[in-house]
Chains A and B, each alone.
Chain A
Amino acid sequence: MTSESKAKIAIAGGGLLGRLLAWRLCQYDVNITLFEAGKLSVPQGACWTAAGMISPLSELVHSEKQVYTQGLQSLDLWSDWSRKLELQGGRAVGFRRAGSVLVAHGKDRSELLQFLRELQGKLGESAREQVQVLDTEALRDLEPALHSFEQGLYLRGEADINNHRLLPLLLDVLRLQGVQLRELTRVNCEPWCISFPGGEEHFDCVIDCRGLGAKDQIKGLRGVRGEVMVVESREVVLQRPVRLLHPRYKLYAVPRSDGRTVIGATEIESEDLSPISVRSSMELSSALYSLNPAFAEARIVETRVNCRPATMNNNPYIHNEEGLIRVNGLYRHGYLLAPAMVQQVENQVAQQRLLVF
């Protein structure tokens, strides 16, 4: 860092990680430039497709414990950061810490047991304290729309955030804070250097948050296809994210404040961005219908498809060298892991002696 000028930091990728990181770095005395290949007003990454769940327990069964511990960190960070963001941006981001509910149909009851068993296997006895078993009545009190289920599980600590409010709000706040925004600029990231067709620019540190855009630079980075649908119903209103456990179909339904519900998500080992398949839409629809038959009259207002950037072990990727930090591979855990990852990057930028309050 030169004494006569502020440190210059480049962030490549205007998805959730890039935006959140830019916002966090605004509190330091640095110059920030955010590069985005597409348009920032129309996020193209998985962060826009996702349902915004922050559910460390539900996700633990198919991930390593690291995801759980970082998820818990993120939960706390989200409740702090969303408050700050709302103050700065002047509107709500829809952070809701109302827990989540897991249900299975009578025939698939063993799925709930299996879930509990796996949780206990990974967390030991502390799993019991975090999961409440619900009978028909308790379930009906908590989620009246799920009246036909005989039992369920309540994961009290889980949360979700409305990404379609959060991401635009983050953009507004970045503008307010004077971050330089360079849209429609596809870049390459090297130590201290951002290059793009027709030129390059030098920085004190480059942070690569390009997701699948960084595929050529990160060995083993792959895309995992996911498909979601958005439905609108006046009849069925859920209070919180609900997951349906089934031997073959997995469904989550995340209600939004505007009467819409985001349902998803498939997981297909394929870097394919073509529209949702008939099969996937049938699976999602029939699973939704089985939550409450009144969903049959809901309207499908949108379908979204994207690829999640993932490493071969499905754990997040972070690489740190002088002048260059790469963060990637948040896989299906973007909102669950982003704050914890951003904080880690913040520390690494500080280690490169670039941050001064």
Chain B
Amino acid sequence: MSDLLNFYGKTFNSRLLVGTALYPSPAIMRESVKASCSEIITLSLRRQNPAQQQDNVFWDYVRESGCQLLPNTAGCRSSREAVELAKMSQEIFQTDWLKLEVIGDDYNLQPDPFGLVDAARELVQLGFKVLPYCTDDLVLCRKLLDVGCEVLMPWGAPIGTGQGLLNKYSLQTLRERLSDVPLIIDAGIGAPSQAAEALEMGFDAVLLNTAIAKAQEPVLMAQAFKLAVESGRAAFNAGLMLRRQTASPSTPTLDMPFWQQAESMLRE
């Protein structure tokens, strides 16, 4: 069965997107990306003073991975900053794909919904394929779609916390209400089980960095996430059973009186 992802008219096999920061070394980063089987990788230009450099060996190294590059605007605090950095990234990496981040709070790096919509509107008009990093607020997500984003990236939890899917209720709402929009859970994923859960809930993909890069064995962790994402997606496609309050043996219990069985069925 073909089960491809489709973002902005481009198809992908892998439902795991990874970052390129925080690794012990570029070599381990590249090996981990390979082990994750990711086809889309994010990277940051912020702080690197791109205007100053003709060549950057690290960027070349990332480019050599052959993955779709998704430059990000990490660290930008206003839409103006984000738009300028986006233009610079486009020039350097020769791609109009962009992970848009506009940060509204310094401590938990929470997205600024207002700046985000402004920046997204402007960047879409400039021809960017914008993948915004947003909160799990339904109305915000709708506004981002209204200004022309085709893919959204709601957070699971604040960046780098590894808390997993903190607000499952609103994430579930997003999934149900925006059923035909590609949704990627971005940020907050700390364990493969959490990634699997996101996929089981029907999210299209997950994006993460710290959980792999900061593991003691990043390459092995990348592999673990790859398996978890595949497993979660397969489970979603297979259709999860509903949760039950009481045990329900898969073979009839002969010694249980009929009326008790009826009672337990009613309780469900």
Contact = CB atoms under 8 A, between A and B. Distances in A.
A and B found bound together: yes
A33 B18 CA distance: 49
A125 to B, nearest CB: 16
Interface in A214-230: 220-223
Contact of B57 (A62, A64, A220): A220
Nearest to A107: B107
Interface stretch (A39-47, A167-175, A237-245, A264-272): A264-272
A122 B58 contact: no
Contact of B58 (A64, A222, A274, A277): A222
A247 interface: yes
Contacts, number: 57
The 6 closest A-B pairs by CB, nearest first: A314-B25, A222-B57, A313-B27, A270-B48, A269-B58, A312-B27
Contacts of B30: 312
A270 B216 contact: no
A191 to B, nearest CB: 25
B243 to A, nearest CB: 32
B1 to A, nearest CB: 39
Nearest to B46: A279
Interface in A294-334: 310, 312-315
Contact of B49 (A220, A270, A315): A270
A274 B57 contact: no
30 contacts: A64-B24, A220-B57, A221-B57, A222-B26, A222-B56, A222-B58, A269-B48, A270-B47, A270-B52, A270-B56, A270-B58, A271-B53, A271-B55, A271-B56, A271-B57, A272-B48, A272-B49, A272-B52, A272-B53, A274-B49, A277-B47, A279-B47, A280-B47, A312-B25, A312-B27, A312-B30, A312-B61, A313-B26, A313-B28, A314-B26
Contacts of B148: none
Contacts of B25: 310, 312-315
Contacts of B26: 222, 312-314
A63 interface: yes
Nearest to A277: B47
A268 B47 contact: yes
Given A272-B53, A310-B25, A312-B27, 7 more contacts: A221-B57, A268-B47, A270-B47, A271-B56, A272-B48, A272-B49, A274-B49
B61 A62 contact: no
B104 interface: no
A143 interface: no
Most buried by B among A64, A247, A271: A271
A62 B216 contact: no
Interface string B37-59: 00000000001110011011110
Contacts of A63: 24
A336 B35 CA distance: 32
A225 to B, nearest CB: 8
A118 interface: yes
Contacts of A121: 216
B182 interface: no
A312 B28 CA distance: 9
Given A122-B216, A272-B48, A279-B47, A62 B53 contact: no
B115 interface: no
Contact of B216 (A118, A247, A272, A313): A118
B159 to A, nearest CB: 9
B174 to A, nearest CB: 27
Interface in A186-228: 220-223
B53 A270 contact: yes
A268 B56 CA distance: 12
Given A270-B47, A312-B61, A62 B56 contact: no
Most buried by A among B24, B30, B55, B57: B57
Interface in A237-285: 247-248, 268-272, 274, 277, 279-280
Nearest to A269: B58
Nearest to A220: B57
Contacts of B49: 270, 272, 274, 277
Contacts of A270: 47-49, 52-53, 56, 58
Interface string A39-78: 0000000000000000000000011100000000000000
Contacts of A269: 48, 56, 58
A282 B53 CA distance: 24
Contacts of B61: 220, 312
Contacts of B53: 270-272
Contacts of A314: 24-27
A344 to B, nearest CB: 20
Contacts of A271: 53, 55-57
Most buried by B among A269, A270, A312: A269
Contacts of B160: 247-248
Contacts of A274: 49, 52
A221 B60 CA distance: 12
A268 B53 CA distance: 13
Interface in B207-226: 216
A34 B98 CA distance: 49
B215 to A, nearest CB: 10
Contacts of A272: 48-49, 52-53
A186 B233 CA distance: 58
Most buried by B among A122, A248, A268, A272: A272
A64 B53 CA distance: 30
Contacts of B24: 62-64, 314
Interface string A174-191: 000000000000000000
A222 B27 CA distance: 12
Contacts of B27: 312-314
Most buried by A among B30, B53, B160, B216: B216
